[in-house]
Amino acid sequence: MRGARARARFASNRTAVAGGVVIGLLVLFALLGPALAAHDATTSDFVHGVAPRTGLPAGPSATFPLGADRLFRDQLARLAAGARLSLAIALGATLLSTLLGAAVGITSGWLEGRQTRVAWPAVVGAIAGAVTALSGWPRAGLALAAAGVLLSLVTRLPGPRLDVDALLMRFVDVMLAFPFLLLVMALGAAVERSSAAAILLTLGFTGWLGTARLLRAKTMQVRAADYVVASRALGQPTARVLLEHVLPNVAGTLVVTASLQVAQMIVADSVLSYLGLGIAPPTPTWGRMLFEGQDYYASAPWLVAAPGAAIVVSVWGFNMLGEGLRDALDPHQA
Amino acid sequence: MTWLLRRVGWAVFVVWAVVSLAFVVNNLVPGDPARMVAGVQARPADVARIREQLGLGAPPLVQYARFWRRLVHVGPRDVAKGDPVHSSCGVVIALGHEALHVDLGRSYQLGQPVVDVVATRLPRTFALALAGLLLQLLFGVATGALAASRRGSWIDRWVVGTSVLGVSAPTFLIALVLQIIFAQTLRWLPLDGFGKTFADHARCLVLPALTLGVYGAAYYTRLTRDELSVLLQQDWIRTARAKGLPPRGVLRHALRAALVPLVTSAGLDFGALMGGAVVTEQVFRWPGLGQLAVTAMLNRDGPLILASVVVSSVAIVASSVAVDALQLRLDPRTRARS
């Protein structure tokens, strides 16, 4: 019932529908574009790509619908390949950061204001994992911490009582004050630099802080609601209360933040490429294309216009979708 | 009062944690600073000598302890010219014959005391942050108030539509468009750089500040509009209207109430900008802290990286403390809670 009403609100919201259409077209372009483009994204064409008299990149024509870039490569093919990368990175990073943010936020909000018994494996795993990661083995550290948490989730072992919420939020505070670029370089060094996976992990592991804070506040609201208090009083196990009552009621907020975050991730990815910290050339990314094209903006304006428009339109699409979803799923905030 | 003390204590802890983490990260990132200074073709013996000179021979823990011991210490009031111990110190407060020194070491690449480098760049970043934020607030609050006072009209729809588009443009794109319009086509303002005289600086500041202004204005437009729309429907506004207060007076009442979220956002934004608007500074070659941070990282210039981390984390943490304190002043309701 609630779903139907939300769908109706979403469908009657022109901004949201426009955002959805833009994203649909973008996905279509990313999927079909590389196949439709007649040329390879990384091969120079010194015959057709060069303007006859000036020797500059050729402008838009039948062979090159969006012109050629400064190394005489097909701009359309590069834009389409870039769309694939940008979308894949943005969606993957958002998925990662949303999952992390939801896990931390819901845990923190649920446990706010009380001491919780944490099993020793989790405590030891977290500390040992942090030390290991900071001594130069980030993957081993992550594995240690994950193993510790998992072990204490499946078994019932004794442990100290800790204010988990305070610890998690203090960690978020520190991470928020940490310079983003240094984090990017650190994570880039931890996983192999300048691959798409590295950028995805970097953005995913840095983007969850805001989501966690928001979800914590939302969970605290839901936790105080009568139906949650009642189901706890009836003796339902915590896991069930979280899954059946808390998660559905914070899901709207989660979907809205996620779709707005895809937009931020596209921007962040293009910023990294623009600064030269992204995926290494010759792989085409929108940010890199813009950076390489900006010197030619007077003689070959399509080199700036195409990637610039691609970035703005896709970010705009996800922003509009997010706004529309907020109006549809979260009527109080509209 | 205890609240403030606790808050400041926590702030100091965050700065310590962030700087320590940065120190560890800096040691983990591959690349040899000594090799970067010596050059690719330097002999191994020279690289080893430079490593010793830079103090990189010591184990990381010793370097870490040395960093904190030197950061703030007591030294002579006037540092002698050839004094090797205090050569990279900045004297802060004089206490009799002694003085409080701040020492962030010496840049590997520039060879200058980091304190001096930061001191010359801090005012530039401050100017850019202040000008950018003021423009954001000016554009944002004006258009937001306009949209809220005509809620549902074509103006409102247009403002909302444009603001979504405004949020969607990354700074480097806005910068590029502004450069093409004002520097290349109209030739009113310099393309980038910093200039030599004060008038030059001011002219060079316009475009980067405008970039930040355009970029952030959309956010403040939405914030102002959404806050005011809710406030204008409150009972006390209806009462004020019923008593015959003109629309401008009503708007002023509502704006006073919307001040808390605006000040909160602006304060936190200012803190973030003081760490250096990295992209904007880079595009316009504005020699502030953001640009310094990028060059330092590319050069693996440890002392400079740590200095930029110290400055930006202090700015972020201090602004959040200041925002909390301001909230207490501006909103009487929050006082009971703290």
Q: Could you tell me if residue B129 is inside a domain?
A: yes
The pLDDT value given to residue B87: 74
Q: Contact A182/B317, CB-based, under 8 Å? A: no
Residues in chain A: 334
Q: DSSP state, B41? A: T
B interface toward A at CB cutoff 8 Å?
10, 14-15, 17-18, 21-22, 24-26, 28-30, 161, 164-165, 167-173, 176, 180, 184, 275, 278-279, 282, 293-294, 297, 305, 308-309, 312-313, 316-317
Give the amino acid at B319. S
The pLDDT value given to residue B336: 61
**Residue A192 in this model has a pLDDT that exceeds 90:** no
Which one has a higher pLDDT value, B31 or B291? Answer: B291
Q: Is the dihedral of CA A63, A68, A74, A76 positive or negative?
A: negative
Give the distance from residue A141's alpha carbon to the nearest chain B alpha carbon, in angstroms.
14
The pLDDT value given to residue B227: 86
Q: Contact B161/A176, CB-based, under 8 Å? A: no
Dist CA B103 CA B97 (whole Å) = 18
Which one has a higher pLDDT value, B134 or B39? Answer: B134
Which residue in B has a C-alpha nearest to residue A136's C-alpha?
A: B28
Dist CA A23 CA A17 (whole Å) = 10
Write phi, then psi, for B89 (nearest 5 degrees).
-90, 150
The pLDDT value given to residue A262: 92
Q: DSSP state, A192? A: P
3-class SS of residue A57: strand
The pLDDT value given to residue B24: 83
The pLDDT value given to residue A93: 94
The pLDDT value given to residue B88: 75
User: Quick one: average pLDDT of A129-157?
Assistant: 81
Helix axes A164-177, B2-28, angle to 10 degrees: 60
User: Quick one: average pLDDT of B70-98?
Assistant: 75
Dist CA B4 CA B338 (whole Å) = 10
Dist CA A97 CA A81 (whole Å) = 24
Q: Which residue has the tokens 């990637």?
A: A307
The pLDDT value given to residue A105: 93
Q: Could you tell me if residue B107 is inside a domain?
A: no
Residues of A in contact with B10 (CB under 8 A): 173
Name which of A177, A263, A290 is nearest B14 (Cβ-Cβ).
Answer: A177
Q: Could you tell me if residue B54 is inside a domain?
A: no
Dist CA A269 CA A262 (whole Å) = 10
Q: Give the DSSP H or E segment for B172.
A: helix B171-178
**Residue B129 in this model has a pLDDT that exceeds 90:** yes
Least confident residue range of A46-50, A103-107, B299-303:
A46-50
Q: Could you tell me if residue B92 is inside a domain?
A: no
Range of the domain at B241: 114-337
The predicted complex's ipTM stands at 0.81
Residues of B in contact with A323 (CB under 8 A): 164
The pLDDT value given to residue A334: 40
Best of B23, B64, B168, B320 to substitute, by most chain A Cβ atoms within 10 angstroms, is B168
Q: Tell me: the pLDDT tens digits for A53-67?
A: 666 776 677 666 777
The pLDDT value given to residue A117: 81
Per-residue pLDDT band at B134 (split at 50, 70, 90)? very high
Q: Contact B309/A308, CB-based, under 8 Å? A: no
Dist CA A22 CA B164 (whole Å) = 14
The Cβ-side half-sphere exposure at A233, using a 13 Å CA radius, reads 7
**Residue A332 in this model has a pLDDT that exceeds 60:** no
**Residue A99 in this model has a pLDDT that exceeds 90:** yes
Give the amino acid at B91. V
The pLDDT value given to residue A191: 60
Neighbours of B8 (CB within 10 A): 14
Percent share of chain A, pLDDT over 90:
12
Q: Contact A181/B18, CB-based, under 8 Å? A: no
Residues of B in contact with A174 (CB under 8 A): 14, 17-18, 21
Per-residue pLDDT band at A211 (split at 50, 70, 90)? very high
Give the distance from residue A134's alpha carbon to the nearest chain B alpha carbon, in angstroms.
7
3-class SS of residue B75: strand
Q: Tell me: the pLDDT tens digits for B232-268?
A: 888 888 888 888 888 888 888 888 888 888 888 898 8
What's the CA dihedral at B264, B267, B271, B277 to 10 degrees?
100
Q: Could you tell me if residue B259 is inside a domain?
A: yes
Q: Contact A178/B169, CB-based, under 8 Å? A: no
Residues of A in contact with B321 (CB under 8 A): none
The model scores a pTM over 0.90: no
Q: Contact B165/A173, CB-based, under 8 Å? A: no
Q: Contact A294/B176, CB-based, under 8 Å? A: yes
A interface toward B at CB cutoff 8 Å?
15, 134, 136, 173-174, 176-179, 181-183, 185-186, 189-190, 263, 267, 270-271, 274-275, 290, 294, 297-298, 304, 308, 311-312, 315-316, 319-320, 323
- C-beta of residue B106 within 8 angstroms of C-beta of residue B89: no
Percent share of chain A, pLDDT over 70:
86
Dist CA A104 CA A110 (whole Å) = 10
Q: Which residues contact B86 (CB under 8 A, 6 or more apart)?
A: B75, B76, B79, B101, B103
**Residue B293 in this model has a pLDDT that exceeds 90:** no
Residues of A in contact with B180 (CB under 8 A): 297
The pLDDT value given to residue B106: 83
The pLDDT value given to residue A196: 82
Residues of A in contact with B168 (CB under 8 A): 263, 312, 315-316, 319
Dist CA B222 CA B135 (whole Å) = 15
Q: Tell me: the pLDDT tens digits for B163-183?
A: 888 888 888 888 888 888 888
Q: Contact A323/B164, CB-based, under 8 Å? A: yes
Q: Could you tell me if residue B255 is inside a domain?
A: yes
Give the distance from residue B72's alpha carbon to the nearest chain A alpha carbon, in angstroms.
21
Name which of A179, A274, A315 is nearest B168 (Cβ-Cβ).
Answer: A315
Domain of B230, CATH number, reads 1.10.3720.10
Which residue in B has a C-alpha nearest to residue A261's C-alpha?
A: B168
Q: Could you tell me if residue B263 is inside a domain?
A: yes
Q: Tell me: the pLDDT tens digits for B5-15?
A: 888 888 899 99
Give the distance from residue A312's alpha carbon to the nearest chain B alpha carbon, in angstroms.
5
Residue-averaged pLDDT of chain B: 84
Which residue in A has a C-alpha nearest to residue B276's C-alpha?
A: A179
User: Quick one: average pLDDT of B309-315?
Assistant: 89
The pLDDT value given to residue A273: 84
Q: Tell me: the pLDDT tens digits for A257-294?
A: 998 899 989 988 888 888 777 777 778 888 888 888 88
**Residue A1 in this model has a pLDDT that exceeds 50:** no
Q: Could you tell me if residue B181 is inside a domain?
A: yes
**Residue B275 in this model has a pLDDT that exceeds 90:** no
Dist CA B278 CA B292 (whole Å) = 9
Domain count, chain B: 1
Dist CA B170 CA A271 (whole Å) = 8
Which residue in A has a C-alpha nearest to residue B161's C-alpha?
A: A15
The pLDDT value given to residue B81: 67
Q: Give the DSSP H or E segment for B266.
A: helix B247-274
User: Quick one: average pLDDT of A16-42?
Assistant: 81
Structural tokens at position B235:
């009972």
